Amino acid sequence: MIIFGIVVRGTTILGEYGISHEELSNVILSIISRNTSAETRFVPMQNGQTCAVLNKMINGEMISFACVIDTSQDRDVGFNFLDSLANFFDEEAGNPRMRSEMNSFISRHMKSLMVTEIDCKERANTQTTVSTDRMSQMNESLARTTEIAKGNIEKMMENDVRMRDLEIASRDLKETVIIE
């Protein structure tokens, strides 16, 4: 899950959103400042978190996009979020609202991306639960069918034994009738 997202130009925070405190923003700013070339990187942090960073040249300025995710998450979650955010920033760079309300404009978009990611995860969990329930039902049905098949096989074996007994009794009776 994405915990926090931030967009920075130099040392100026252009927008941020998430569960955060000032210390987290400062840690991310120090991670961003270590390398300002256009690239991506993945930096382990404390408390089971990881920072994904994407630097991108937009309109002649280096813009840094960063997010904090749970270490247990796949790297693609963070980088997909950052790519979406960078594309949005690039597309909206000429928008007058982007200039006048940049922080709230970017923050709202980060929020919508995070909510979308959470919704997708919840849908996947729901589908997994439904799949698990369906699998459980199928296993129960299979167990019942197996029990019925075992019972039928036992009955067939009992019938086979009875048939043999009848054949033997029939031969014995035939021999008795022929002898007399």
Q: What is the pTM for the complete model shown?
A: 0.59
Between 33-37, 103-107, 136-140, 156-160, the lowest mean confidence (pLDDT) is in 103-107
Nearest to 92 by CA among 81, 80, 104: 104
pLDDT above 60: residue 122 = no
Domain that holds residue 93: 2-126
Mean pLDDT of 86-103: 77
Would 67 be classed as within a structural domain?
yes
**Among candidate residues 130, 34, 95, the one with its CA nearest the CA of residue 51:** 34
Q: Residue 164 domain-assigned?
A: no
- Residue 174 banded pLDDT, cuts 50, 70, 90: confident
Q: Is residue 137 part of a domain?
A: no
pLDDT confidence of residue 127: 57
Lowest mean pLDDT among 24-28, 69-73, 113-117, 160-164: 113-117
- Nearest in space to 58 (alpha carbons), one of 88, 78, 31, 79: 88
Residue 134 counted as domain residue: no
Domain contains 179: no
- 22 pLDDT band, cuts 50/70/90, is low
Average pLDDT (142-167) is 83
In-domain check, residue 96: yes
SS (H, E, C) 52-66: EEEEEEECCEEEEEE
Q: Which amino acid is at 57?
A: M
Give the mean pLDDT of 100-112: 73
The CATH number for 93's domain is 3.30.450.50
43 by Cβ neighbours in 10 Å (0-12 / 13-18 / 19+) ranks as: middle
- How many domains does the structure of the chain reveal? 1
pLDDT band at 130 (very low <50, low <70, confident <90, very high): low
Task: Give, as one character, the DSSP assignment of residue 39.
Answer: -
Which has more pLDDT, 5 or 121?
Answer: 5
Domain membership flag for residue 136: no
State yes or no: pLDDT of 78 exceeds 70.
yes
The alpha carbon dihedral of 40, 44, 48, 51 has a sign of: negative
**Average pLDDT rounded to a whole number, residues 8-22:** 79
pLDDT mean across residues, the chain: 78
How much is the pLDDT for 129?
A: 61
What is the rounded average pLDDT of the residues 67-94? 83
Is 59 inside any structural domain? yes
